[in-house]
Amino acid sequence: RVHVSQEQDMVIQEEARVPKITGLDSEDVSETPTSTLTLDAGQGGSDQWIEIGPWEAEYITIGGKNNNASFGARDQSALLLRQGYDEADKRLQMNRTGAILMQAAASMPVLIHTNPTRGTNDTGGDIDMLVGSGDTGHGGNMTLTSGDTVDARHRGGFLTLTAGGNNNTVGGRGGVVKVTGGFAGGTTDCDLDYYECGGLNITVAMYEAVLHGCTGDAGSAADSSAFLCGTME
């Protein structure tokens, strides 16, 4: 064991080959014990980079401690990538319970892209965004919201969904935009009397009739369940 006190530095100008690097044990620092390990670039020089696994590494793992949490959950291994010290400078953050925050700097985009070069004989790749399943309470929500603005004579941000195109003249077809509601498997204790449409309660009978092209029967205005369907001769 090589012991270097707080007043000493160790300078190695080539490689230091060791199987493990850790911070100090708490008993190694008498006044303010800490086990924090700090990696930083040196002062000056042409480049002040920190490179992890640039040549030989086949797998790079960051974090992984799980303090007796349930399977799939994290209780200790918080991770943070930032470009400054303010809250707005956080770029990727995972807290101790596994929540994830990803944000760009002000006016900068967040780009998630597969196969950006559109190379020959390459597929475009898929991007899947999925809210996981649970067994307590309602299912998780997914929200897409474009940005607001307070600038005069300008609009809020667009929200655009565009399916992919195909310029090939031989059977080329454009992609399809599909919006599908969730499956309802309830057979008991269900509320099947009304639909809420834009804050207006509509009976199931009225909804089904209008859906199939029927109109209300003027002669039975007091009865919202009477409808005329089709052409009467």
pLDDT in tens, the chain (233 residues): 666 666 677 888 888 888 988 887 777 667 777 788 889 988 887 888 999 998 999 998 887 776 665 555 556 778 899 999 899 999 999 888 778 899 999 889 888 887 766 666 767 778 888 888 888 888 888 899 999 999 999 999 999 999 988 888 999 999 999 888 787 777 666 666 666 666 777 777 777 777 777 765 555 444 455 555 554 43
Burial zone of 228 (CB within 10 Å; 0-12 exposed, 13-18 middle, 19+ buried): middle
Q: Which amino acid is at 13?
A: Q
Which one, of 91, 184, 25, lies nearest residue 195 by Cα? 184
Give, in degrees to the nearest 5, the angle at Cα 125 between 119 and 130: 160
Q: In this structure, which amino acid lies at residue 106?
A: A
Q: How is residue 84 annotated by DSSP?
A: S
What is d(CA 103, CA 82) in angstroms, rounded to the nearest whole number?
10
Question: Running DSSP on this structure, what letter comes out for residue 30?
Answer: S
Q: Distance between CA 18 and CA 10 in Å, rounded?
A: 15
Residue 6: per-residue pLDDT: 65
Question: Which DSSP helix (H) or strand (E) runs through 211?
Answer: helix 204-211
The type of residue at 28 is D
Query: How many Cβ atoms sit within 10 Å of the Cβ of residue 210?
Result: 14
Would you state the pLDDT for residue 221? Answer: 45
Distance CA 52, CA 66 (A): 23
pLDDT for res 203 = 77
**Residue 87: φ, ψ to 5°:** -60, -35
